[in-house]
Amino acid sequence: MFPARRPRRLRQSEAIRELACEVRLHPSNLIAPLFVQEGDGPPTPVGSMPGVSRLSISDLAREAAELGALGIRGIALFPVTPPHLKNPEGSEALNPDCLVLRAVAAVRKAAPGLVQFTDIALDPYTSHGHDGVLTPDGRDVDNDATVAILARMAVLHGQAGVDFVAPSDMMDGRVHAIRTALDAAHLGRTGILAYSAKFASAFYGPFREAVGSAQAAGTTGLDKRTYQLNPANPREAIADALLDEQEGADALMVKPAGPYLDIVQQLRQATRLPIAAYQVSGEYAQIHAAARLGWLDYTRARNESLLAIRRAGADWILTYFAREMAQEIQVSRLKQV
């Protein structure tokens, strides 16, 4: 007896597989994280992130324009603050002429249609590397004092023309405070992409190297477990994300992406808001490292990792693979014409 139902009929040729494809990657699903540094010097490669560099403002603006031409609709900007501008209070974050806001203006001129997301947190600016100001005893991050600073920071970014401020600090109540401050400053069009389910993960190391937050503290392993989520707590993660929705977030993020696909899927079922997932620096680095050792097929592993994030329910993926994926998708389409 042969089966009447033969699933392989939908897999037998490239054309049939394309017709039957359920989930696709498109450049408009991708947001490119970019690092900006002071000065007009050449790009500075990030050693633990092959193919990723810190860029001057002029190079960043050119890169943004090229990404837009490839069909990528959004970039997320992260500043590399010079050490002499860092202090325990992270006061450079409130400088209206700080590096990231000058970069925003340059990108707006070079690529006016590109959506800009900027990080709202103090770790690029503090000498201790934490995401907020510390309590008087220096043992923890002061939640409410930090939130007050973040709200002022978000207003500066909104006034600079940022499309979405993206609080990544995981302080309690910061989305409500930021939304209130933006509205009071007549910045009702400025959106909030909240890092709503951000876990205390081991996969952030290369990013901290890139922005210098680990070096600021003299360590590569800052302990942020009093404010970032416990990797063992899925229910708490969903509760936190839904609280951000109640407080006024326009989109919710899960970070990291790959190790937390279950959280992406559960959140997709719990909200109607757009969901972003951040394929973080450690995820990017491990694919590169394994491929260099010959243990993985680089292209297939990269593509599968991104497809899995989309399949789990993410609308937007922040990924350091954004440019090369958009280029390959564009080439693939040209071949099909």
Selected catalytic residue, list 86, 109, 224, 255: 255
Residue 241 CA to residue 254 CA, distance in Å, equals 9
Cα–Cα distance between 182 and 162 in angstroms, integer? Answer: 12
Active site residue 86: no
- Using pLDDT thresholds of 50, 70 and 90, give the confidence band for residue 95: very high
State yes or no: is 255 an active-site residue.
yes
pLDDT tens digits for range 17-60: 989 999 999 999 999 999 999 999 999 999 999 999 999 999 99
Residue spans of alpha helices (H) in the chain? 14-19, 57-69, 99-110, 143-159, 174-184, 205-211, 213-217, 234-247, 261-270, 281-292, 298-312, 322-336
Q: pLDDT at position 335, please?
A: 66
Condensed to tens digits (0 to 9), the pLDDT of residues 270-322 reads 999 999 999 999 999 999 999 999 999 999 999 999 999 999 999 999 999 99
**Helical residues (DSSP H) of 5-51, grouped into ranges:** 14-19
Express each pLDDT in 187-208 by its tens digit.
Answer: 999 999 999 999 999 999 999 9
d(CA 296, CA 291): 5
Could you tell me the maximum CA-CA distance found in the chain, to the nearest angstrom? 77
What one-letter code names the amino acid at 237? Answer: A
Q: Which of 245, 79, 175 is nearest to 165 (CA)?
A: 175
Residue 214: pLDDT band (50, 70, 90) is: low
Q: How far apart are CA 284 and CA 320, in angstroms?
A: 7
Fold entry, domain 25-336: TIM Barrel (3.20.20)
Burial class (CB in 10 A: 0-12, 13-18, 19+), 290: middle
Token pair 């540094």 in the structure block, residue: 37
Rg (CA), the chain: 20
Look-up: residue for tokens 């207003």? Answer: 155
Out of 86, 109, 198, 335, the active site residue is 198
Tell me if 126 sits within 8 A of 214, measured CB to CB: no
SS3 49: coil
Domain boundaries, the chain: 25-336
pTM: 0.95
Give the separation between CA 132 and CA 99, rounded to whole angstroms.
19
The residue written with tokens 């992260």 in the block is 78
Do 285 and 52 meet the contact criterion of CB atoms below 8 Å apart?
no
